[in-house]
Structure 1
Amino acid sequence: MYYTKDTILFLNGKFIKAVDAHTDLYSQTLHYGFGAFEGIRAYQTMNGVKIFKAYEHFERLKKSCALVGIPFNYETEELVQIAYQLLEKNELSDAYIRPLVYCAPNMQLTQPSEVYLMMCTWEWEKYHGADRQLKMCISSYQRPNPNSLKMEAKVTGHYVNSILATSEAKVRGYDEALMLDMNSNIAEAPGANFFLEKDGVLHTPSLGHILPGITRQTVLNICRELDIPVTERQIKPEELESADSAFLCGTAAEIVGIESIDAKPFRKPWFDSLGASIQEAYKCQVLEKSFSYVII
C-alpha cells in the first residue's frame, strides 16, 4: 500500500529504494515512542505540483523536536527541497508526505545524542474517504493532561492515545472518536481538530489540550476571509444537542463533515452547513484556485 519495489525514500542524507531501507532495532523511538513526525500533502495545482503549507509543517517538525529535546539540525528550506525531490523521483503529484525524525539506539530514558531523518511519500486519499460524513462517538479515552507532555509537539508516542480511541470507536460500530479533555470539555478527534456550528457561528476548542493543527489555522483564516464568525473556547459535550452541524479538519482528513455523534444526527444537512462552504474554499486554496465565488 505504501511502497513498491521501485519506491524511493530519503534516509539519512541519501535517496534510496524503500525495499533497501533498514533501521536499528534498538532505536529509542521504536522502544519508547520518542520521535517526531509530520503529515503533509502535495497537490497538482493550477500552477504545478505544490506542497501545501510546506514551510509551516517543517517548522512545526523542528519545533516538536525542540520542545521534547530531540536534536535536529536540518534547515526548513532543505527539508522542503528534499520533499519536492521525493515527489519528482517517485513521479507523484497528489501525494502524502511523511517525514520522521527518529532516535539512535538508547535503552535509557534520556535525551538522544544522535537522531536520523526518514522521509517518504505515497498516494493516499482522504483519511476518512471521499464525500462522506462521519458517524462519531464520545470516546472513553481522554486527551492527556497538558502537564504530562508537550501537547503542541507532534510526537510519535502521543499517538498511542489516538490509536486506542479510534480502535474503540470502530469496535463500537462508529467511524471515529471524539475525545474530551481532563476537564470533560470537547478536545479533538484522534487525528483531527473539531469545529461546531450553531446559529451561524463556528466554535472550536481553544488551545491547551489539543494539537494546534495547521489545517485548523487554515480554517480560521478562511473564516476571516469569508466573514464567518468563529470563536475559540471551551465546549461542553452537552452543547452537541443544540448544534446545527460539525466537522473535522486535518492534513490527512482535509475537511470532513460529521453526520452524527453517539447516533444523534445534527440538525442541518451537511451541504447547507458552514462546514461545506469551508470545505469548498479549502479545496480551492490547496489547488491554488480562487474561492471568491464560495457563497455562505
Structure 2
Amino acid sequence: MAGAYDDRDGVIWMDGKLVPWRDANVHILTHALHYASAVFEGERAYHGKIFKSREHSERLIKSASMIDFKVPYSVDEIEAAKDLILKESGLQDAYVRAVSWRGAGPDMGVASARNPVRMAIAAWEWGAYYGDAKFKGAKLDISKWKRPSPETVPSHAKAAGLYMICTMSKHAAEAKGCSDAMMFDYRGYVAEATGANIFFVRNGEVHTPLADCFLNGITRQTVIEMLKKKGIEVKERHIMPEELEGFEQCWLTGTAAEVTPVGQIGDYTFEVGALTRDIAESYEKLVRS
C-alpha cells in the first residue's frame, strides 16, 4: 500500500461497519478536530496476530475515561473489529491504528457532552519506524519542549492533544538531520522521545526514566519484564541530564519503534552494544513467536 493516507484502496472499520478507505471521513465540525478530544492506539500485527492486542484495547478505553468520554464498544467488540480489519485487509504484518473521538453533534464549544463518540480502526503496511536507524543507531535531538506535569494534563492517557509538542519536536529534529528528539519533563528530568520510551545502560545495569508524567508504554513494560527474566537489574528512576555522559548504551521502545538503538543524543554518543542488540533480537523473537 502506498500513497497519501486519504487516497488508498481497502477498507476501514468505522462505527461498527466496513467503509471504503476513501469514504472514511468526518465532518469539518468534528469536536476532536477543534479540541483534541480523541484517544488512539498504535499496534503491530506479526504473522496476522496483534502483539498484546487486548492490552491495547483496554488502554484505549482507559485513555478515553481519563479525558472524560466513554468508548461505545467493549474490549471484546474492539478485538473482533481488529480481527475483521486484518482479515479484510489481507495483511499479516501490519500497523493497526484504533482511534476514538468526540464527533460532530449539537455541541460546538469546549463542552461536548451531547456529541456522539465515534471509533475507527485501520491497518496498513509499515516498516521500521526509524528506517535504517534501527540497525545503526538513531540520532536524537534534544527538544526545547518538556513533558507537562500530571497536574496540568492527563499525562497517562494516549490522547491526541498530548502529541502536539511531540510533532513540533520531531519536525525540529528532522530539520537538523536527526531521527527524533528526546524530551525532558517539567522538572528537568530525562523523560522520553516523541513517541517512544527510552532506556540506558551503564556497567551492565539498565536505567529508564520513571513513568510518572508520561505514558508507561506497553513495549516499555514488555522490555522491562524481558530484562528481569534475563537477570539484568532495571532501575526505574529520575535521571538527570548530566547523567547522559556516563551511559554507554541507549535504546528506544515503542510499538512503532519496537526496540531501536540510539547512537547519539545531542552531543552525547552511545555504542550499539551487546545488550542493546540482545534485547532487540529477543523482542523480535517474542513478537513473532
Q: Where on the TM-score scale, by shorter chain, does this alignment land: which range?
A: over 0.9
For 1:1-296, list aligned pairs within 5 A. Answer: 1=2, 2=5, 5-44=8-47, 49-105=48-104, 106-113=107-114, 114-130=116-132, 131-266=135-270, 269-270=271-272, 272-288=273-289
Distance 1:148 1:192 in 2: 21
Within 2, Cα distance between the matches of 1:126 and 1:57?
A: 20
Provide Cα deviations, 1:199-235, integer angstroms capped at 9, x if missing partner: 1000011121221100000001101211111010000
1:158-201 Cα distance to aligned partner (Å, 9 max, x none):
11010011111122232211000111100000100010100100
Contact kept in structure 2, 1:135 and 1:263, CA below 8 Å: no
The code of the aligned residue for 1:278 comes to I
| Greater CA drift, 120-129 or 104-113 | 104-113
Q: Distance in 1 between matches of 2:10 and 2:136?
A: 30
Distance 1:180 1:5 in 2: 38
State the number of aligned residues: 281
Is the Cα contact below 8 Å between 2:12 and 2:122 reproduced in 1?
yes
Q: TM-score, normalised by structure 1?
A: 0.92
Q: Matched residues in 1 for 2:183 and 2:146: separation?
A: 6
User: How far did 1:71 drift?
Assistant: 1.9
For structure 1, list consecutive stretches of 5 or more residues without a partner in the other structure. Answer: 289-296
What's the Cα RMSD here? 1.3
Secondary structure in 1 matching 2:146: coil
Relative to the length of structure 2, the TM-score reads 0.94
1:132: how far off?
3.2
Q: Which amino acid aligns with 1:19?
A: R
